[in-house]
Amino acid sequence: MKHEVSKGRGATLQIEGRFENVARERVDDGWDTADEELPPFKTTVTVEHAKSVIQRHDSPDLPFEYSLNAYRGCEHGCIYCYARPSHSYMNLSPGLDFETKLFAKPDAAKLLRAELAKPGYQCSPIALGANTDPYQPIEREWQITRQILQVLMSCKHPVSIITKSALVERDIDLLAQLARDNLVKVFVSITTLDAELARKMEPRAASPRRRLQAVRSLNEAGVPCGVMVAPVIPFLTDSELENVLQAAQEHGARSAGSTLLRLPYEVKDLFKDWLVTHYPLKAEHVMSRMREMRGGKENDANFGSRFSGQGLFAELLAKRFKLTCERLGMNRERISFDTTKFIKPNLSGQGSLF
């Protein structure tokens, strides 16, 4: 198998989704084209006309009930992204298609306002970035995430955000207003402090240094911003756990979380090929340790263990994380969202009598 690296892209394979009934393979047709360099993959954005935008979750190990995704696919191209298999539902590849063929929901803010106005809606924090990054590069042009925040701010609705992008700084004006009413938490995901590794693993996300600067900017503006050390990858990033937490604390973070690498569906093949391509000497060590922490499998979808793993090494990671947070004074205070200030949107255009 030929492993191909596309500049600025994460996946080294363009595999078929699990619902497709055909498979495509690059072969030599006798015209000496097998080794010919293919043109670069260009990012395309298709408008998606969604009927609703709030997704409800009943998973016992998720800290939120509602989430909202302004985009499908993610240009950051993180090779480990657990959302990649979702592109299979669009008859697209979880590989390079996921990071180049994107979908935007320009009506998201309008749909959100309508859903919040429904008589039976009960206010509960909405998570942005649960599937794909709300501040991926195309947000600069589309500004859908900013429009969503404007709706949430006008309704005094709580929101949590997780991102790998420094573009979140653009919306500090809105986030600071939400923060004054205890209505927002931001987490910046930092997997590694190694810039070279980050370029290969998450090629179009902000550099680790730039993400740390965003953590500082948000906290200095009064916006509570923590760090997610996620995913932790054995033999590749696990040795950096303490250093990432230390750097985040020095940049103002007072809260942190961590999750173990997950490899659902097609992500397993994509990640293994990426490992062989970029880190061939570590590939088998990484996968062997992953199987050890996943009960002999390459992935574990069970509640309670899918984010943390099992076994001695998983327990050691959890202990290292806990002790480091205690030493740095992180996670001592839990900031609670204030749902009592929620104001239902007025879609009639008429003012209230009271």
DSSP assignment of 63-97, as one string? S-SEEE-SEES-TT--TT-TTGGGGGGGT--TTHH
Residues 10, 201: Cα–Cα separation, whole Å = 6
The DSSP 8-state label assigned to residue 170 in this structure reads G
Cis bond upstream, residue 231 (ω within 30): yes
Residues 83, 247: Cα–Cα separation, whole Å = 27
Give the model's pLDDT for residue 27.
47
Give the model's pLDDT for residue 354.
42
Residue 73 neighbours by CB under 8 Å, 6+ apart:
87, 97, 98, 99, 100, 101, 102, 103, 132
Q: What is the mean pLDDT of each run of 10 residues along the chain (354 residues)?
A: 70 70 52 55 93 92 93 97 95 95 98 97 96 97 98 98 98 98 98 98 98 98 98 98 98 98 96 97 98 97 93 97 98 92 83 46
Bridging pattern class, strands 126-128 and 225-232: unpaired
* pTM reported for the whole predicted model: 0.90
Give the model's pLDDT for residue 199.
97
Residues 50, 47: Cα–Cα separation, whole Å = 9
Please provide the distance, in angstroms rounded to a whole number, between the alpha carbons at the two ends of the chain: 70
Which secondary-structure segment (H or E) carries 258? strand 256-260
In one-letter notation, the amino acid at residue 256 is A
The domain ranges of the chain are 44-326
Residues 131, 55: Cα–Cα separation, whole Å = 11
**Considering only the top CATH level, what class is 44-326?**
alpha beta
Judge contact between 217 and 165, C-beta under 8 A: no
